[in-house]
Structure 1
């Protein structure tokens, strides 16, 4: 009997359509029934696993439609006896203000005392339990996961048991993931908890990777890539990581129209053979080529929510240019794509990027200084030391790719100045990665640019969902926000020949270090509300947290 292995995940949803993803145990026809609407899809195979993405269309806008999933005529979702409400498809209502959750960095370990003591309370699961039991708060329209949905290099005991069952853990890559099969098991662990599984079945989601989805410091520098290429297991790792990302995360980010343009999806959608389509060879070939030639495949995506909000989600990992004399966090193809999508004529622009565009100023200038030193500003001997330091303490954010940073800063200022259509009220970068949360406000530096921003430019970070920053690092991040330190490090960056930025900024709120999930809500055409939420188990069982508010911020902060 064919069974449901993972999912359903409710992915791309708009006013009239919804995409639902599943993994099942064998080749099958998957049927989704939502009210009077029924849609089916045949599974496709990859590395012995079976997947389907079912597309429903013609749905009523602004509705909340219960749905079921069937395999070969047998209903497999909702699960019988589940403590959670029926899964719903919440289609968008035109003109309704957007409400979106976001966050990053979530390890998948048990919710018992040991797991909670080591990693804290899972903020996503806390929110899921709140959604399931308290209908007083309006649900988000979607959740945006901004990287490190899975940790391929820092594995749990459960994952290590699986690895040890198929190969020696004493041989490279040891406790890290090796291939697609191990990624498939890791995603199963990450998404199988009943509360989170229910949330993902009823809350539309979008996702972008960060380094731990592949490996810590992924694409930090040319030296890093050369070092990894020498490892005999790296080829299977990067191919398995990108191939599984396409299946488990990327496909569902795309609208039906955008998905129809994907060459691999065209193979799935047009398949009419008697046997299930096995996509393994073509999928692996795409992943290998995407790693070697980043401009041949795009992981970034964008969508508009009426004329109210534009969401642009940027791949800041795979699309990097790493040649020492031509470093940029985005290659020319990706930069041109972003340039085309960063336009005005909406009330709010949201830019999702796993890495914060604006770090605390002291940290930003430290990373810019590091790049200058590594590029040889102080000689080749110091450059070698700088490269080792860059990899050791993760100096590889936007600030460490100054060419791309300044180019995107210019684009944002042009949008904010009304040079690309009507200036939006707010332009907000949404990010994760750094295992602390904060809000920073930016403005045009009159000493560097003649552009004047009419929009409020904001960086909002929510990290981690569940993976707290080591205590020793908290002091470092707090120091990075101090103005006196920032000015001193900025002078060092200038001495390392780092050009001045057209943007100036400072932290307005934070940093705070809770495991949390943030919710952004458009409240008026010119106002946005942000709230960070965490789980609290004080006086309660560790698997039954209550939700508490960590911080609230109204945008604009300065006006």
Structure 2
């Protein structure tokens, strides 16, 4: 998997079936092992800016990638540094399932139906495209795997292990590292996906289903789940596998050097004790600020992408809840202030939610904090979990922090060319234009693209359509006023959507202009995955 790519360096992630030395473009590194699995992250430096370099993967001197008779274009690294447009492909919520009926059919009464995988559809199209038309980066905004809704193959593995009495975790939740590794393997190794990962750099951030539904939704939730006998093993496996499969590749070579975790794992050979202790400390101090910061930044020419951890770094103490701890938020603000061209803020959870959902979440947080007494607080905690009331408005202080940051950025004499928030999680897509009443001409948008493959069924769609309707909005506003939360320094309106299909979005930045395209995944008459445009618009000017 090609992960980080800059102007002169890149990282390539590999999983092998045994301990060995991995060599790519003359750079070699030994693997490290975790619970019988073997990994390497190869750092390639001294590349030429704005170049295209084909690569192969050697294991102990034997070429093992690409496979013989591979029917796809060569794996390559395209370094940054050119004057052409920058394209960022993004989306969230990708459930793993076979790419055949009934799994590939649009969701109906059969729970196996997931629809067409938009990520795979992009790979099918890319195979026939000119390389200059490919995206420059893929951003996965959460739920890359569903640890609590596994694919059919992994579900069978889990059931076999439960019958043998090896695990105490619930039957439908990944219990250990072996089961997490199986989730990633099934999701990422089909041929189209495997090739796509080998040619497109990718960044990722977790959401709740990468760990478990409602992860860190409240302090009470954390206290309750820590009392279960299976939680410690589960969360350690979740965080260890996340660092290996997702997070290490998010980091630049310089940050990898600064953190020194990769070097420590490679030196140790057996990385399980090192990563398990790191995960235990990370979970122990979650959600108290000061733990490991999972947020990170990538620069693509004059476009700055800041990926925000909105799950693991929360402060959940009632009365002072924050989506992101104070120190990490200040780091995010500093990175945003350094953006000169286009700024993209990526978060798994939407900041600007439509209709009455905003007011409902603000009202619910106040009641959970005790505004109407203990009885209402208990009922509101139940409602919070039942309705997944955990977007940014459910963390009122952090929502205000975002507005303050956007107001500051749009009040500068020389503002950004554009500011775009990209998000996922909620299983429908939309575009909102945001007015934070700054003084510059910088336009602010939020684009939600969800799901890649996990479309809602009709009943769930009807509920959400009501929530975003005028009636739903009026109810939400009334609830806000009931708890004195109706003071807003920003306004936002949906300009497009909601859309409930599987799909992905793409941002294109070319000089001072920014364009958006959302595409829907479906099957053609032969059953092949295809894409069609649902929204196309300019975000600047």
**Range with bigger deviation, 527-536 or 381-390:** 527-536
1:55 alignment partner, SS class? strand
CA distance in 2, matches of 1:344, 1:66: 33
Is the Cα contact below 8 Å between 2:162 and 2:171 reproduced in 1? no
CA distance in 2, matches of 1:183, 1:514: 27
Residue aligning to 2:41: 53
Residue aligning to 2:280: 288
Displacement of 1:172: 3.0
Alignment of structure 1 residues 147-186 onto 2, 5 Å: 147-168=142-163, 172-186=169-183
**Range with bigger deviation, 289-298 or 178-187:** 289-298
Displacement of 1:453: 5.0
Displacement of 1:110: 0.2
1:50 alignment partner, SS class? strand
Is the Cα contact below 8 Å between 2:406 and 2:436 reproduced in 1? no
Between Structure 1 and Structure 2, how many residues are aligned?
529
Residue aligning to 1:84: 72
Displacement of 1:166: 2.7
CA distance in 2, matches of 1:424, 1:336: 19
Are residue 354 (structure 1) and residue 338 (structure 2) matched? no
CA distance in 1, matches of 2:475, 2:40: 54
2:340 alignment partner, SS class? coil
Question: Structure 1 residues 211 and 169, CA, compared in 2 at 3 Å: closer, same or farther?
Answer: farther
1:223 alignment partner, SS class? helix
Deviation per CA, 1:477-496: give whole Å up to 9, x if none. 32333345324412311212
Deviation per CA, 1:304-327: give whole Å up to 9, x if none. 223x21111000000011111221
Are residue 550 (structure 1) and residue 534 (structure 2) matched? yes
Residue aligning to 1:144: 139
Deviation per CA, 1:179-232: give whole Å up to 9, x if none. 111111111011011000100000010100000000111100011111211111
Is the Cα contact below 8 Å between 1:373 and 1:386 reproduced in 2? yes
Are residue 372 (structure 1) and residue 372 (structure 2) matched? no
Residue aligning to 1:6: none
Is the Cα contact below 8 Å between 1:468 and 1:514 reproduced in 2? yes
Is the Cα contact below 8 Å between 1:344 and 1:423 reproduced in 2? no
2:49 alignment partner, SS class? coil
**Which of 305, 312, 318 in structure 1 is aligned with 2:300?**
305
**Which of 182, 188, 191 in structure 2 is aligned with 1:191?**
188
Deviation per CA, 1:39-84: give whole Å up to 9, x if none. 1110011122110011111112222211100111111101111221
Residue aligning to 2:93: 105
CA distance in 1, matches of 2:164, 2:463: 34
Residue aligning to 1:71: 59
Residue aligning to 1:329: 323
> TM-score under structure 1 normalisation?
0.91
2:3 alignment partner, SS class? strand
Are residue 207 (structure 1) and residue 193 (structure 2) matched? no
CA distance in 2, matches of 1:502, 1:312: 23
**Which of 269, 272, 275 in structure 2 is aligned with 1:277?**
269
Deviation per CA, 1:138-194: give whole Å up to 9, x if none. 001110000000000011221111113333388532121001111111110110110
2:162 alignment partner, SS class? coil
Residue aligning to 1:5: none
**Which of 467, 479, 495 in structure 2 is aligned with 1:480?**
467
CA distance in 1, matches of 2:460, 2:351: 20
Displacement of 1:88: 1.1
Alignment of structure 1 residues 377-388 onto 2, 5 Å: 377-388=371-382
Question: Structure 1 residues 136 and 256, CA, compared in 2 at 3 Å: closer, same or farther?
Answer: closer
CA distance in 2, matches of 1:497, 1:188: 49
Are residue 390 (structure 1) and residue 384 (structure 2) matched? yes
Displacement of 1:96: 3.1
Is the Cα contact below 8 Å between 2:291 and 2:313 reproduced in 1? no
1:261 alignment partner, SS class? helix
Displacement of 1:90: 1.1
Residue aligning to 1:457: 444
CA distance in 2, matches of 1:11, 1:379: 49
Structure 1, unaligned stretches of length 5 or more?
1-8, 446-450
Are residue 241 (structure 1) and residue 238 (structure 2) matched? yes
Is the Cα contact below 8 Å between 1:344 and 1:415 reproduced in 2? no
2:320 alignment partner, SS class? coil
CA distance in 1, matches of 2:401, 2:522: 42
Displacement of 1:535: 2.7
Is the Cα contact below 8 Å between 2:304 and 2:339 reproduced in 1? no
Are residue 523 (structure 1) and residue 510 (structure 2) matched? yes
> TM-score under structure 2 normalisation?
0.94
CA distance in 1, matches of 2:9, 2:338: 26
Displacement of 1:86: 1.1
Question: Structure 1 residues 488 and 160, CA, compared in 2 at 3 Å: closer, same or farther?
Answer: closer
